[in-house]
Amino acid sequence: MPSIGVLTLEIRIEDAHSLKDKRSVVKGLKDRLRHRFNVAVAEIDGQDTWQRATIAAVTVSKDRVRAEQVLQTVENDAANFLGGALVDSAVEWID
């Protein structure tokens, strides 16, 4: 049975002084994750705030073990890219 995993990343961008500053960080992260891991990525909350964003990355796999591996790798890469800006992360499953 296919598994769908949703990784949610809470981001705080202290150096952002405008929406333009924030969007450059968010766009860079979204593009990076899409191209490196072939996951669907969207900003799902905080669109109108300067220093906060919530990003979701979604993967579909034939089994949950593979989906977990993909999302863990995505989370690790996002943490390396963002440094201390990654405040929290969570994974949800749609079975």
Q: Measuring CA to CA, how many Å separate 73 from each of 29, 33, 88?
A: 14, 10, 15
Q: Look at residue 95 in the predicted model and tell me its pLDDT.
A: 73
Count of domains for the chain? 1
How far apart are the C-alpha atoms of 41 and 7, rounded to whole Å? Answer: 9
Q: Look at residue 13 in the predicted model and tell me its pLDDT.
A: 95
Is the whole model's pTM more than 0.95, yes or no?
A: no
What digits encode the pLDDT tens for the residues 5-54? 999 999 999 999 999 999 999 999 999 999 999 999 999 999 989 899 99
Q: Which domain holds residue 90?
A: 3-94
Q: Look at residue 40 in the predicted model and tell me its pLDDT.
A: 98
Q: The domain that contains 29 carries what CATH number? A: 3.30.70.1120
How far apart are the C-alpha atoms of 85 and 33, rounded to whole Å? Answer: 16
